[in-house]
Structures are given as C-alpha cells and as structure tokens.
C-alpha cells in the first residue's frame, strides 16, 4: 500500500520510522514527476527538496509555527504533505493546486509568492509580530510559542532583498531559522561572487573538516558571548558543525553546516537541535537539484520548469529517455534568433538577463557573444542599473526580462534610465496572462508602470516579423527608455510573407486596408478594433468570422506610447466606435492611453470601448482558459465588437456617410 495517498496532515509523519519516510520520499518524487510530465510545472526544484521538506514537517508543527518559502516554486512536496495530494492531478489549474504557495488553498501557506528574495524579510516581519503579540517561542517563558523558519533556495540568497532581510535577521533576539537550500544552481547556473563562494564551499574539504568541537569557535562568532551563553541549548551535532568562516556570520547569524540535504536522519537531527536554539541561525543544507531522476539531475536547467513531456525507456537499454512537448515556435525562440541577428549586425548592441537565460532566450547570444552578454543572477534592479551605465558609455543595451519581474526594477527604469534620457531597451517576455504559473507571474501592469515615464516608447509585437522590426526600431531609438512586450505563446504565421513594414514612432499598422480611414480611398468601418500585441491576430480572425454582418477594421496598434493620435482622431471624428484590445490590465493600459489621447484631442470618448484584463486576480489555468475567462478569446472579442456596433447604432452615428473621409479627418487631427 502506498503511503502518500494516506497523508492528510504532516502530523502523521511523526509516527513513522526513517525507513517509511524514505519510502514516502520516493513516492513524492514519482508523483511529482508523473504529474509534471502531464501538465508541465516546476520539476527539478521540487525533486531536490523532498527529504528537506519531510524533515521540516517532521520536526516543526507548521500549523502553529511559521514556514515561509523563497522561492515559491519549491513548494510541491510541502503541499503534498499538508493534505493536498487530491489536488495534484489538477496542478496549475483552477481545479487543482497552484504551483506556488497559496493561502487560499491552505493555512499552511502564509504568502502567495512567486518572486525571489522576499522570504527572509517576510519571516523577520512575522517573527517581530509574534514577539509583539507575546506568541513567540521563548524557552523559559513561552516554550509552546511559535517558531519561524524561512526556506530559501535556487540562488535567491543573492537577491538584494534577501541581503536586506539577512541584515535585519541578525538583529533579532529570538529563535529564527533560515534554511539555505544550496543546490549549486538557480534557475540556471548562479552568477556572481556570492555564488562563487558557495561553489568553493561545496568543493572544499570544509564539509568534512568542520566536525570538531565548537568551544573555541563560538567566541569568534559575532555575538559570540550570547551564543556561548546559549550553547548549552545546542545539541552536540550542531556545535560540531558551526562554520567559523561562514559568510553569514557577518550578519550576526550563527551558521551551521553544510549538511547533507538528502539524509533524513541527518536533517532531522540538526533541525531538532535548531528548533530549540533561541538565536537567529542559518542551517546550510546541500541538495541536488532534480534529485531522483538522471534526466533532471543532468539537465536541471531544462527541467527547472519544463512543459509536458514523455518518459520512455530507450529500446534495448534501461535508460530513461525524455521528450519535451512542443506546440510550435515560441516568441522566446523568435526573440533569441532576432537578437542574434541584431548583435551580428551591430557591435554596439549588448544584452543582459537576470537569472533567466533559457527562459528569455538570451542563452543563445550569451554563448555566441560572451563578451557582450551577461546573466547577472537574480537581481533585476542591478541588471537594469548596469545596462544604464553601459548606455551612458554609448552602447545599446537590451534587457531581456519577464514582465512580472520588471516590477522589481521599476525604480531603475525611472531613475537611471528614463530620468537620464538613457536608451535602455526592455524586452518583456511573458507579457500578459501566462497560464499555469498564475497570478504571481502574470505580466499585467508593465504598460501602466512604464507609461508614466516621460519620453518612454512602448511597443508590442503581434508576431515574429513584427518582433524583429520592433527590435530593429529599438536599436536605433536613442531618445530614452523603450520596451517591447510579447506573450508566453507560440508565434502566428498569419502574416508571414505578407511583408512587415518597419515601426514608425506612434503609428499603427492597418491589417484591413479596405477600411483604412487614413487613406483617400479608405472606407470607414462600422467598428474599428485597435489591438495591442498578439490579440491583433485574434481580432483579424474574429473580423473574418463576422464576415459581411459588420465592416470591422483591424489595426495592429504597435505603440501604447505614443499612441496613433491621427488614427484615433480620424475614427472618432466620423463617429466610428473604437474597441481597444490588450492582454494587460484595463487600468492604465493601452485602452486608457487611447481614451486620454481622444480627450486630449477634444473628441467625444463615449465611442471608445476597452477590453483587457479586468480588475481581478486571474488564477492558474491554461492561458487559453484565462483569455476566455476575461473575454479575450475569439468569442469574447466578437461579443465586444457587436456591442460596440450596437452602441454606435443607439447613438445615431451610423447615419453618417463614412466612405472616403479618412484623408480629410486625418488632416484635421494632424
């Protein structure tokens, strides 16, 4: 009989023998691998923390104590041990469990968290809050109080916010445990001096040489007198593994380890002793990312967060082979090839990413142009600052970053790029709704953020050819900050071969020339759809499906700043209703920019209808399901087009003769 399906509470672990826990660890690994092979998800990070998670729940009671994750994508074993095994089959969908901690699912999850570096600071806050409330663990006066544990891994420790958290953790006068899951990897290979320190530590003889008495060491630790005074609370194993030269000592944190993160007896022994220690401590645990399967251990970057995949045995051998699913060419792959071509043509182009070389496609140019491309590690703020410095030196920097992670560098986009007039170029992957990663990763506010910056130029690509011409435009745009956004999706071939005109600042591209009101021979449409990004492809498909019922003009808007004021004026002056469509929040997005432009032109804005992501949190599901849920699928777009047309009819604008008026209207606006 399998153990995992019987686990409804982590309290059950405490009645098991080590041998049973090890069997459970194997079942957890197989269950996670089997499900991720069907749905996609974060595989290697979770495989690496199975024993560590079991040991944490064996020693602590996180129904009472506090457990905070950093980063959140290593939480699958935790979820399976806290009664959510029945939700595993619906992983990354609204019918199952999120791939990140989710308080809406369980009281064992304290924060919805998908970004890096936040866990220590949040844990410090909870530690201070419990102390103020009189609920903190204090050995003498409150032995049943709450303990606090922050589990940090996948190179999050190098993040600047993590450093700030460490700086404050060292000032706590109470129990506080930071468990460092050191797997020698981040999402990809960690970068920077701190990562190199851990690499040296992993390879040194210190791992075995540390097993010696702690009496002489304690007096050298910052706050050593306090630690020495409290050392009787430490077990002998913990004393013998105090790391005298640990980097964390400089933050006033007693550091223990490194210890074997896959040995349950070792983990339970050290965590049991750490549980009773009443000072801030770091327990350094070494794990193997992707543990348990050769394919994920040997290629943990690919299997960090793979799509669905098939496992099968190579014929005539016992080797496990893996084939990743593919739905077609992605925007990320298109960006990678376009950047390689751009860097080949222009020696002034440089590029960087923040720990996402594979996820953003930068790995291709990183290999091809190692002197002009950098992976800075998990530090978006530093990356953008660094590229601003390169722009100051006359280079053309491109920053490849997920839209959701751009938020972490908005201050630098403001202060070091836009304010200085420095042309840093932002390539925003995963813009819009991202599917299974859910609310923690949606890129729904990049336009709203960046549109506030004077002089910024904001673009969206609808397909691969338009992405290429957008990047070429950005390479020559020297007036200030620029950005192009594109989704986690496959590229459309709808307009491949049709010829893609270059980007012209603030000018939309008409995809239905017969309804181009800015031409002398143009015929005004019944409804004009201004679509920002890939939804222009959906709008064209919808217009074709509507057929002769309505004359639907479709424009690839291209720019959210500056918007095409000539086009907006030409349409509204003759009473053509405008439907704006965007895979972005309706608050502050492209549609808002169109409204503002119309108001600035002194035109009636009642004919402008906006369609985008509403003011709600959109949770995990396939991207297609999410788009349908907010009305951005073909059916939703058609519904909005017909509503816009009906609104026009009610307003009487349909009585106007709209044929052939484009040139006159555009001249008046201009």
Give the single-character DSSP code of 443: B
Residue 330, pLDDT > 80, answer yes
**Res 215 pLDDT > 80:** no
Residue 344 DSSP class: H
Helix axes 264-275, 18-39, angle to 10 degrees: 100
Query: What's domain 509-669's architecture?
Result: 3-Layer(aba) Sandwich (3.40)
Lowest mean pLDDT: which of 257-266, 498-507, 521-530?
521-530
Residue with tokens 């336009």: 447
pLDDT in the model for residue 208: 39
Q: Are the CB atoms for 518 and 662 separated by under 8 Å? A: yes
State the Cα–Cα distance between residues 644 and 632, nearest whole angstrom: 15
Tell me the C-alpha to C-alpha distance, in Å, between residue 532 and each of 50, 165, 515, 584, 623.
43, 39, 18, 9, 17
Provide the pLDDT for residue 263.
95
Given a cut of 90, whether residue 241 has pLDDT beyond it is: no
Q: Which residues pair with 530 in a beta bridge?
A: 555, 580
pLDDT, position 1: 84
Cis bond before residue 562 (omega within 30° of 0): yes
Catalytic residue among 79, 146, 147, 289: 289
Find out whether 512 and 552 touch, Cβ atoms under 8 Å.
yes
* pLDDT score for 66: 97
The chain-wide mean pLDDT, for the chain, equals 87
Region 150-155: what's the mean pLDDT? 87
Question: Cβ atoms within 10 A of the Cβ of 212, count?
Answer: 13
Q: Which residues sit opposite 578 in a β-bridge?
A: 528, 608
Domain with CATH 3.40.50.970 in the chain: 4-286, 331-485
Annotated active-site residue in 408, 430, 551, 558: 408
Mean pLDDT of 245-267: 86
pLDDT of residue 347: 97
> What pLDDT shows up at residue 670?
28
pLDDT band at 191 (very low <50, low <70, confident <90, very high): low
- Read off the pLDDT of each residue in 90-106 and give the average, rounded to a whole number: 94
428 beta partners: 401, 485
CATH 3.40.50.920 intervals, the chain = 509-669
When pLDDT is averaged across residues 631-644 and rounded to a whole number, the result is: 95
Residue 652 confidence (pLDDT) above 70: no
Q: Please report the DSSP string for 68-109 in residue order.
A: EEESGGG-HHHHHHTT-GGGGGGTTSTTS--SS--TTT-TT-
**Cβ–Cβ under 8 Å, residues 153 and 70:** yes
Query: Which pLDDT score is estimated for 177?
Result: 97
Decide: 230 and 174 in contact? Cβ < 8 Å.
no
Answer yes or no: is pLDDT of 229 > 50. Answer: no
Task: Indicate if the pLDDT at residue 521 is higher than 80.
Answer: no
pLDDT value of position 650: 67
State percent of the chain over pLDDT 90.
Answer: 73
Average pLDDT over residues 428-445: 95
Q: Which residues contact 494 (CB under 8 A, 6 or more apart)?
A: 463, 537, 540, 541
**Residue 337: partners with Cβ closer than 8 Å, 6 or more residues away:** 364
**Residue 8: pLDDT band with limits 50, 70, 90:** very high
Mean pLDDT of 643-658: 58
425 has pLDDT over 90: yes
Specify the pLDDT at position 239: 64
CB of 429 closer than 8 Å to CB of 403 = yes
Rounded to 5 degrees, φ, ψ at 272 are -65, -40
Residue of 345 and 322 predicted with greater confidence: 345
* Structure tokens, 547: 């057929």
Question: What interhelical angle do 50-59 and 264-275 show, nearest 10?
Answer: 40
196 SS3 class: helix
Considering only CA atoms, which of 82, 76, 81, 156 is closest in space to residue 122?
156
Least confident among 250-254, 275-279, 399-403, 574-578: 250-254
For range 85-91, the mean pLDDT: 95
Q: Is residue 433 reached through a cis peptide bond, with omega within 30 degrees of 0 on the bond before it?
A: no
Using 50, 70 and 90 to split pLDDT, how confident is the model at 122?
A: very high
pLDDT above 70 coverage of the chain, percent: 86
**Do residues 231 and 239 make contact, with C-beta atoms less than 8 angstroms apart?**
yes
For the chain, first and last CA: distance in Å?
A: 76
Q: Is the pLDDT of residue 243 over 70?
A: no
CA distance 92 to 625: 12
Active-site entry in 380, 416, 464, 582: 380
pLDDT at 212 over 60: no
pLDDT of residue 190: 53
> Is 20 annotated as catalytic?
no
Which is higher by pLDDT, 242 or 106?
Answer: 106
Identify the band that residue 204 occupies on the pLDDT scale cut at 50, 70 and 90: very low
pLDDT at residue number 17 = 95
pLDDT at 659 over 50: no
In sequence order, what DSSP letters do the residues of 465-502 get, joined into one string? HHHHHHHHHHHH--SS-EEEE--SSBPP-TTTTS--PP
- Token pair listed for 566: 């000539």
**Rounded CA gap, 448 and 485, in Å?**
13
Contact 507, 564 (CB under 8 A): yes
pLDDT bin (cut points 50, 70, 90) of residue 248 is confident
Look at residues 332, 334, 368 and name the one whose alpha carbon lies nearest to residue 350.
368
243 three-state secondary structure: coil
Sign of CA dihedral 619, 622, 628, 631: positive
Q: Which of 113-127, 217-231, 464-478, 508-522 has the weakest average pLDDT?
A: 217-231
Distance CA 211, CA 160 (A): 32
Give CA angle at 39 (9, 103), nearest 5°. Answer: 40
Mean pLDDT of the 583-593 span: 97
Could you give the residue ranges of the DSSP H alpha helices within 346-379? 357-360, 363-368
Q: How many residues does the chain have?
A: 670
DSSP secondary structure letters along 263-280:
-HHHHHHHHHHHHT--SE
The verdict on whether 408 is a catalytic residue reads yes
Token code pair at residue 184: 């020698």
Which range has the top average pLDDT, 35-44, 255-264, 577-586? Answer: 577-586
Q: What is the distance between the alpha carbons of residues 83 and 79, in angstroms, rounded to a whole number?
A: 7
Options 3.40.630.30, 3.40.50.970, 3.40.640.10, 3.20.20.210; CATH for 4-286 is 3.40.50.970
Is pLDDT of 43 > 90?
A: yes
Q: Which two tokens stand for residue 221?
A: 């630790």
- Output 648-651 pairs: Cβ under 8 A, ≥24 positions apart: 648/526, 648/527, 648/575, 648/576, 648/577, 648/607, 651/575, 651/606, 651/607
Active site residue 289: yes
Name the CATH architecture for the domain at 331-485: 3-Layer(aba) Sandwich (3.40)
**What distance in Å separates the CA atoms of residue 69 and residue 117, rounded to the nearest whole number?**
10
Report how far apart, in Å, the C-alpha atoms of 151 and of each of 12, 33, 284 are.
22, 22, 10
Cα torsion 291, 293, 299, 302: sign? negative
Whether the model clears a pTM of 0.85, i.e. scores above it, the answer is yes
């Amino acid at each position: 009989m399998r153990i995992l399906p019987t686990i409804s509470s982590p309290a059950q672990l405490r009645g098991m023998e080590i041998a049973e826990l090890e069997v459970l660890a194997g079942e957890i690994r197989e269950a996670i691998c089997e499900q991720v092979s069907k749905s996609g998800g974060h595989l290697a990070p979770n495989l690496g923390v199975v024993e560590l998670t079991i040991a944490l729940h064996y020693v602590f009671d996180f129904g009472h104590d506090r457990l905070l994750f950093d980063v959140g994508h290593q939480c699958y074993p935790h979820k399976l041990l806290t009664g959510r095994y029945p939700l595993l089959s619906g992983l990354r969908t609204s019918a199952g469990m999120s791939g990140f901690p989710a308080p809406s699912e369980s009281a064992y999850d304290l924060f919805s968290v998908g970004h890096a570096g936040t866990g220590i600071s949040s844990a410090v806050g909870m530690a201070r809050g419990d102390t103020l409330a009189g609920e903190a663990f204090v050995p003498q006066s409150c032995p049943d109080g709450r303990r606090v544990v922050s589990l940090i891994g996948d190179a999050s420790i190098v993040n600047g916010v993590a450093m700030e958290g460490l700086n404050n953790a060292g000032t706590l006068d109470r129990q506080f445990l930071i468990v460092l899951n050191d797997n020698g990897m981040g999402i990809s290979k960690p970068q920077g001096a701190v990562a190199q320190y851990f690499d040296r530590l992993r390879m040194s003889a210190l791992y075995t040489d540390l097993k010696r008495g702690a009496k002489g060491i304690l007096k050298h630790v910052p706050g050593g007198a306090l630690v020495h005074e409290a050392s009787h609370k430490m077990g002998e194993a913990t004393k013998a593994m105090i790391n005298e030269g640990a980097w964390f000592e400089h933050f006033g944190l007693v550091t223990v380890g490194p210890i074997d993160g896959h040995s349950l007896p070792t983990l339970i022994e050290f965590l049991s002793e750490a549980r009773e220690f009443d000072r801030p401590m770091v327990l350094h645990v070494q794990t193997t990312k992707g543990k348990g399967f050769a394919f994920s251990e040997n290629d943990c970057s690919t299997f960090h967060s793979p799509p669905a995949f098939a496992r099968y045995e190579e014929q005539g051998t016992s080797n496990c082979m893996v084939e990743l699913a593919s739905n077609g060419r992605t925007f990320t792959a298109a960006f990678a090839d376009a950047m390689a071509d751009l860097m080949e043509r222009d020696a002034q182009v440089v590029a960087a990413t923040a720990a996402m070389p594979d996820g953003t496609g930068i790995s291709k140019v990183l290999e091809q142009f190692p002197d002009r491309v950098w992976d800075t590690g998990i530090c978006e703020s530093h990356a953008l600052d660094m590229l601003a410095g390169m722009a100051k030196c006359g280079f053309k920097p491109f920053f490849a970053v997920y839209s959701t992670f751009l938020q972490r560098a908005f201050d630098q986009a403001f202060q070091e790029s836009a304010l200085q007039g420095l042309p840093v170029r932002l390539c925003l992957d995963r813009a819009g709704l991202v599917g299974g990663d859910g609310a923690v990763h949606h890129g729904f506010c990049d336009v709203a953020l960046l549109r506030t910056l004077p002089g910024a130029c904001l673009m969206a690509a609808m397909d691969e050819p338009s992405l290429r011409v957008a990047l070429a435009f950005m390479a020559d745009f020297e007036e200030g900050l620029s950005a192009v956004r594109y989704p986690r999706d496959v590229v459309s071939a709808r307009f491949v071969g049709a010829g893609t005109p270059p980007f012209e600042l603030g000018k939309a591209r008409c995809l239905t020339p017969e309804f181009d009101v800015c031409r002398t021979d143009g015929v005004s449409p019944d409804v004009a759809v201004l679509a920002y990004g890939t939804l222009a492809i959906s709008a064209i498909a919808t217009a074709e499906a509507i057929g002769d019922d309505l004359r639907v003009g479709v424009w690839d808007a291209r720019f959210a700043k500056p918007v095409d004021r000539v086009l907006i004026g030409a349409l509204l002056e003759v009473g053509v209703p405008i439907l704006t469509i965007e895979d972005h929040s309706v608050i502050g997005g492209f549609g808002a920019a169109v409204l503002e432009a119309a108001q600035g032109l002194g035109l009636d804005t009642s004919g402008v209808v906006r369609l985008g992501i509403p003011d709600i949190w959109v949770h995990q599901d396939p991207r297609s399901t999410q788009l349908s849920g907010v009305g951005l699928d073909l059916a939703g777009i058609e519904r909005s087009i017909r509503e816009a047309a009906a609104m026009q009819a009610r307003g009487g604008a349909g009585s106007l003769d709209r044929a052939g008026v484009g040139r006159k209207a555009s001249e008046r606006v201009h």
